[in-house]
Structure 1
Amino acid sequence: MGLKSTQDRYGAVAIAIHWITAAMIVALIALGLNAASATDDSARRALLLPHIALGLLTLALTLFRIAWWAFADRKPARPAGVPLVQLRIAEIVHMLIYAAIIALAASGIATNVVGGVIAALTSGTPIPDLDALAPRQAHGLLARLFLLLLTIHIAAALYHHFVRRDGLLARMGIGKART
Structure 2
Amino acid sequence: MKLKSNPERYGTVAVSIHWLSAILILALLGSGFRAVNSMDAAAKAGFLRFHIPVAIIVLILTAFRIVWWWRFDQKPLPVEGAPRWQERIARWVHVAFYVAILAMVASGIGMIFLSGAAPAVFGAPGAVLPNFTDYPPRAPHGLGAFLLVGLLVVHAGAALYHQFIRRDGLLRRMWYGGRLDRLETS
* Bin for the TM-score computed over the shorter chain: over 0.9
Instruction: Assess if the C-alpha contact under 8 Å between 2:117 and 2:129 holds in 1.
Output: yes
Runs of 4+ off more than 3 Å: none
2:98 corresponding residue in structure 1: 98
* Whole-angstrom distance in 1 between the partners of 2:156 and 2:121: 35
Instruction: Assess if the C-alpha contact under 8 Å between 1:167 and 1:175 holds in 2.
Output: no
Residue by residue over 1:16-59, the C-alpha shift from the partner in whole angstroms, topping out at 9 and shown as x without a partner, is: 00000001011101100111111111101110011000011101
* Whole-angstrom distance in 1 between the partners of 2:102 and 2:79: 28
Superposition pairs for residues 69-108 of structure 1, below 5 Å? 69-108=69-108
* Whole-angstrom distance in 2 between the partners of 1:105 and 1:175: 33
Q: Which of 1 and 2 has higher RCO (CA within 8 Å, sep 6+)? A: 2
Unaligned runs of 5+ in 2: none
* Whole-angstrom distance in 2 between the partners of 1:107 and 1:60: 16
Counterpart check, 1:156 vs 2:158: yes
How many residue pairs are counted as aligned between the two chains?
A: 177
The letter of the residue matching 2:152 is L
Q: Could you tell me the TM-score, scaled by structure 2's length? A: 0.92
Superposition pairs for residues 53-68 of structure 1, below 5 Å? 53-68=53-68
How well do the aligned residues superpose, as a CA RMSD in angstroms? 1.3
Q: Could you tell me the TM-score, scaled by structure 1's length? A: 0.95
**SS of the counterpart of 1:42?**
helix
**SS of the counterpart of 2:137?**
helix
- Structure 1 vs Structure 2: percent identity of aligned residues? 44
* Whole-angstrom distance in 1 between the partners of 2:38 and 2:89: 37
Residue by residue over 1:95-137, the C-alpha shift from the partner in whole angstroms, topping out at 9 and shown as x without a partner, is: 0011100000000000111111113234231211111321011
